[in-house]
Each structure stands twice: as structure tokens, then as C-alpha cells.
Structure 1
Amino acid sequence: MSNHTQSIGDRVKLPFQFDVQRIIDEVYQMPMNNFIYYNVIPLRSPAHFVDPSLPTPPSTEDYADGSWTDWLDTQELKSSPYLTEVVDMFKQHTKVTLVRVLRLAAGNIVKEHTDPTLGLEIPKSVIRLTIPIINAPGVEFYLNNEIVPMKPGECWYMRLTDPHRVINNSTEDRINLTIDMIPNDWVQSLIKGS
């Protein structure tokens, strides 16, 4: 493990607090399809997914840094003024790639896994920021076998190249907003300074 990684740690709460009720109001205006245990609503996606008239990017073996395609806001994000404001806050500082609303049904889990390209210490990577929206008692996010004490409206960087899992022992769906971005100097100083 490099000194750079040790100095940051595997989780950092960033100095932002977002308006949970405004996010909830906008999320519940989105098409909420029936789902089995896990549901994803894309808010920012590869350009050819958002606009099928655009060409599909050429195949690449390196998808890590998000440069393999252009990224566009989906109609769900364009129809959500506050979520647009949240995403634009980051877009004014760095390239924002994938943005999603993630729902994990009550009583379900996300098995332990790693995301090999989602860590600040990985060259040519993106990082993921997580903003819990609905995180009822009984929802437990484990990173390196320790619970990350995330509260609704907070914003967290986690080194997701490390093992992590989610257990939803609550009676409500867990809903998170995730924002992937290029870790430029602004992003790195934000994480290191928090």
C-alpha cells in the first residue's frame, strides 16, 4: 500500500450537505419501474445511450478513466432541477462521467465485491462519490469489514477498489445517488483536505 493511499484512508466524508427532501421529491417523479432487488436510474450516461443517433464509440480495452466516450445528461436528470444543480456543482470543477440513482430493496444485500477502477490511487481512473438519499436504520454499508456511517444528504468518497458490501435490513428501499468523476487536482485536494 502506497503512502499516498495510507494518507487518504479508505473513506472520507466531504464537506457537503445536500437537501435530501428535494432529492427525494425529484427521484419519486422519475419512472420507478418494478424491480426484484436492485434498480438503477441513469442520470448521466454514455452519449450513444442517451442519443441513439450518435455513433457507438470504438471498442477499447481500457474503460477505466471515462475518456472512451462522451457523457450526456439523461432526460431524468434534465427534468430534475435540484439534482442538475448538484451534478453541475461537480461538473464546473472536473469531468463528470456516470451518474445514477441506485435502489436496493428492503431486506436485500449487495454481495461483497471490489470495483477495480474506482480508487484515487489507481492511474487513469475515475472515483465515485456517494450521497445517501434514503438510508434507514438497518442499512449497513461495509468497507473493509467496517461500517461507513453515512447519513442522508452527506457526500462520501470511498476507496471502492477495496472489498465492500451492503446489507439492507430495514423495511425501506435504500436509495443512493452516485457521481463518478475524473480525480483532477480539485477533486484530490477536496478529498485530501476533508
Structure 2
Amino acid sequence: MSSTTSLVDSPPMPAEGVRLKPSFDAGRLLRELTSLREHTWDQQRVYTEDGVGAATEVDWRCLALRSPGGDADRTDPGGPGPRDFEETVWLDRIPYVRDVLDSIPAPLHAVRFMALGPDTVGMDHTDPKYGPRWGVGRLHVPVATNPGAVLVLDGVEHRWQPGEFWFGDFSRTHRVQNTGTEHRVHLVVDVLVTPGLAALFPETWQEYFRHGEVLFNRQECPQTADERRRLATRFPVPATFHLWEDDTPLSADAPQETATLAEEGDRMTLRLPGDRVFALVHLGDNEYRLSGWSEERTLQVFPDGPEPRVVLRTREGSQVHELTVTAERLAA
């Protein structure tokens, strides 16, 4: 069984980007950045359903401050997988940046210093589902820039300045370019959208957050070991369900594969064929999102009754798509 619910006539996002509150100490940010520049940063890499992908072909380098498992060598933005986002060793050396991150009232995912080299122009691209419609935000704090450093976002040129705090809807077409002679460096912070994060936006955006197509994420809700164990099940899922950037509708008629939900350590994991493992985050009422992603897709277990059920959901703003499947209990 599948179903869809949605609302209409919601206010649009007011602009492609907006400056947030507060501002930060540009001098302190630059001093801490300088303390990390003796280390040669690695080229930025992409992240796909197959894992860490190819490096960028232009001079665009990163230093990871938060990454999956706290891996300091990860320059990609990460995504759903077996490990949560954690701090890397570099964050211990920059206490003011840690204060900046601690001030953001939302769960943090990837955090990177991203340096665009002189005389470098990136290609036009989009970051699928990196926007409030899918519960994800990308924030920027410029640290070092020059007049030739420009972000072109949805056709609009932006020249953000050191210490400012910005949101951009990077699900729209954009590119970065630096025709200057110095590096352009930003602190780039990926977050889950929450009411606390919305409060950092100007008043002109509050109607959008109240009534627009925004997906707010719930806080993690701890479970006991006994609560987790009774949910161990096996069930069919569409073969594209774990592909967080995919837009294929949930359907019982789509190709299926067998998923296993089980306790591993102190949390639940979703296992798919081919040794693909996804840590899960409990949101309450036996509903889980994929760790490293938002509530854009979740699964909810109903273990009682003659046949356990699992409800799979994908969300985009107020739109919710559901698919209910029959599950099989696993032996304790």
C-alpha cells in the first residue's frame, strides 16, 4: 500500500541566499585558519551512493573539521552510511571555530574549510536536495576572500565578506570562481534544518519557515536495548530507497531487495545486499532516519499484531509519500 499527502499554496523561499545572524570575529577566524595552512590540504571529493568519489579537477581543496567517523582525510560532504559525523583532530587546534560551530542551533553534519585557488573557476552544478525542502541546509562563513572571488547562485553574484554568516540554497545551479591572486577560503557547515536554525534567519524569511515547503527535523530519541531488539525484522524495500539523492517514487511495483533491521552495538542499522550498512537515528515511535541524512526518508516499524509492518516514507517539504510493507520477525 502506498499513499501521498501534501499541502498547497505555501509561500516561496524569499531569495536564493540570505545573510544570517550573528556575525563572527573575522580576525580570530583568519588567525586560526593561518595556523592550519602549513598542512597541504587535499582536493575536494564528491560523495555518491557508491561512497567517496572522484576529486575535483580544479584547485579546490578542503580540510575536514567534521566528517563520517571523524576521518581527517575525508574532503567529501558525506551522507548516509555506517558512521555518524564526528569531529576530526583539526578542530582541537581552533577553539574559536569550535565556538562558532557550538553556536549553531542545529545538528551538524560535514564541516570543512574549503579553499578555492587563485585563477580558478568551478563548473555550474547543483547539490541535489541540499535545501530546506529536504531538511538540509548549507551555511558559509567566509574567512579569506578578495574582489575576484564570486559565488554565482541561481544567476545572482554574491561576494560574501569575512566574518559574515550566510545561507545559500545550493540545490539551485551555482558555481564558484576566483579570478584574484589569493585563495578564497570559507568555513562550510552542513546542518539539519530545525526551528532553532530558522530563528537565525531575518524576519522577512519567517513566513516561509512557518508556512513554506520546509522539512523540519526532529531530535534524536534514545531507545533501550530491549526496545531495539523487539524491532529486529526483515522486509522488502524498493532498490532505490537508500539512494538519498534519488527521486524515484516509492512503489511496491518497483524492483525490490531484502532489507534487515537489527541492533548493532547501541543502535539500529539497516543492512542491504552487498554488505551495504546504514546506521539509523531514532526519532520516536520506532521511526528512524538514515544517519548522515535528514528526515527526507525514514522507516517506521510496527512490530505488534500477527504480521509486523514497516512504513517507508520520503518527504519533500509538506509532501509525504508512504509505502507499507509486511515484515518478518527475526529470532532474538
TM-score, normalised with respect to structure 2 = 0.49
- For residue 71 of structure 2, the aligned residue among 49, 65, 71 is 49
Matches of 1:158 and 1:3 in 2, distance apart? 23
Gaps of 5+ in 2: 1-7, 43-57, 73-78, 206-332
CA deviation after TM superposition for structure 1 residue 181, in Å:
0.8
**Pairing 1:24–2:30 present:** yes
Given that 1:130 and 1:155 are in contact with CA atoms closer than 8 Å, whether structure 2 keeps it comes out as yes
Matches within 5 A, 1:16-165: 16-30=22-36, 31-33=38-40, 37-47=59-69, 49=71, 63=79, 69-90=83-104, 93-122=105-134, 125-165=135-175
C-alpha RMSD of matched pairs (Å): 2.5
Matches of 2:10 and 2:163 in 1, distance apart? 28
Judged with a 3 Å threshold, the aligned counterparts in structure 2 of structure 1 residues 42 and 4 are, in CA distance, closer, same or farther, namely: farther
SS at 1:40's partner residue? strand
SS at 1:133's partner residue? strand
Which ranges of 4 or more aligned residues in structure 1 deviate by more than 6 Å? Answer: none
CA deviation after TM superposition for structure 1 residue 191, in Å:
2.8
Count of residues in Structure 1 that have an aligned counterpart in Structure 2: 177
Amino acid of the structure 2 residue aligned with 1:33: T
More moved, 68-77 vs 170-179: 68-77
More strand by share: 2
CA deviation after TM superposition for structure 1 residue 5, in Å:
6.4
Q: Relative contact order: is structure 1 or structure 2 higher (C-alpha 8 Å, sep ≥ 6)?
A: 1
Matches of 1:34 and 1:96 in 2, distance apart? 22
Judged with a 3 Å threshold, the aligned counterparts in structure 2 of structure 1 residues 48 and 20 are, in CA distance, closer, same or farther, namely: closer
Given that 1:135 and 1:174 are in contact with CA atoms closer than 8 Å, whether structure 2 keeps it comes out as yes
For the pair shown, the structure with the greater C-alpha radius of gyration is: 2
Matches of 1:145 and 1:191 in 2, distance apart? 22
| Residue deviations 1:61-87 (CA, integer Å, cap 9, x gap) | xx4xx6863221111111111011111
Given that 1:119 and 1:127 are in contact with CA atoms closer than 8 Å, whether structure 2 keeps it comes out as yes
Given that 1:4 and 1:121 are in contact with CA atoms closer than 8 Å, whether structure 2 keeps it comes out as no
More helix by share: 1
Given that 1:8 and 1:191 are in contact with CA atoms closer than 8 Å, whether structure 2 keeps it comes out as no
